[in-house]
Structure 1
């Protein structure tokens, strides 16, 4: 496998040096993970930054994550939020998830469960199942949104089918509190969701911010 990564570096590095944003992100990833090269967070940050400035959403999310953790650069939550928000607005699901985490914890931003729920929903609607689990929990307990067992059932069901254990546990509680009419409405909502083909996404590989 090491040889394969070394070969990948030989392919990507010249492209990255010539300004290819995707190649720059790949080179950053190789250095961040120590694939084919020694781990070097500083060099990883430099390549991710080049790619991020060129408009690559995943690189923007990675830059935000590195600023948040202080890896390869001094920790700075102002820049972490700046880059993460940019990536989130450009549609990166992990960035949307991390923006929700920032708002839920008040990390780098003023705490707001309402905004956290909004970001979780954006991500959940794109099939990101950790966000589906978080959103389902918020609907169940009424954090940042109005308490709604039907919505809770929908999102916890979608997260649970991907093996999110906490979602399955909470789903049992929701079902135990639902009326027969609520259960029927909730199951119909799940069927509608699946019929639209929305449930086909998964988190990308590099999302290093602890949740």
Structure 2
């Protein structure tokens, strides 16, 4: 479980930079100048602009300068400096900084591994997020509630957060929501809904969802049985590096005729062209 959450750490930095760009412009114009420099790849210039703003207590500048230090862009790579800046922004309840601190506590990267503190940070991030919250905050908090990390499990709350992240189009959330419907965790058991959410994740080219919906079609679970579509989805998942799908395909070669596999390969090619990158 910890490993599955840890992979968000590398992606969350980019996500929250987008969050800044998309948030309403209420800070001084000089912050926006720094953001323009950042987006143009002029990281040293962005750091020069954000440094005095961060020192003056601007939470967005503190957070953004921390991102530069974390990545070593335009300034020396220094996770300690990044953490110090994110803590200052977090003291002002700046949601992206709270999220990043949570991710570091989950990984034990630069901060002690502390699930309880990570959960508190994510809860605060969600409380103070704009526009209903960051999709990654929603997802990670849902996973902590689901598995009882950092506190007691709360599966109904996990389901509500996972549903929101799924409706925002996050493939990993859609996959996990499918599993929650499949198993009746935090909600009623609904195999049709499970298959529908696995399909949405699969269509975003998420291999675990492709593997799951492929097997659903082969079993007729939540969907009408269709061996051709099932094999096609497993083929796509295997091409995307899913070992379970590869092993399943090998097992099935003794159960289905070779022409069906050939047709599934063609169907997989057609499906792949319509998948989201």
Interval of TM-score (by shorter of Structure 1 and Structure 2) = 0.7 to 0.9
Q: What is the match of residue 68 of structure 1?
A: 146
Gaps of 5+ in 2: 1-69, 71-76
Picking from 168, 171, 175, the partner of 1:97 is 175
Equivalent residues in 2 for 1:129-144, closer than 5 Å: 129-144=207-222
Which of 1 and 2 has higher RCO (CA within 8 Å, sep 6+)?
1
Q: What is the match of residue 272 of structure 2?
A: 194
Q: What is the match of residue 247 of structure 2?
A: 169
Q: Identify the range of structure 1 (20-29 vs 143-152) with the bigger mean alpha-carbon deviation.
A: 20-29
Count of aligned pairs between the two proteins: 197
Gaps of 5+ in 1: 201-211
Determine if the alignment matches structure 1 residue 110 to structure 2 residue 184. Answer: no
Offset from partner CA, 1:169-196 (integer Å, 9 cap, x none): 222344551463x445423322223334
Asked if structure 1 preserves the Cα contact closer than 8 Å seen for 2:235 and 2:265, the reply is no
Structure-2 change in CA distance of 1:88 and 1:116 (3 Å)? same
Determine if the alignment matches structure 1 residue 159 to structure 2 residue 206. Answer: no
SS at match of 1:94: helix
RMSD: 2.2
SS at match of 1:22: helix
- Give the greater-gyration-radius structure (CA): 2
Asked if structure 2 preserves the Cα contact closer than 8 Å seen for 1:140 and 1:174, the reply is no
Asked if structure 2 preserves the Cα contact closer than 8 Å seen for 1:103 and 1:110, the reply is yes
TM-score (structure 1 length as normaliser): 0.83
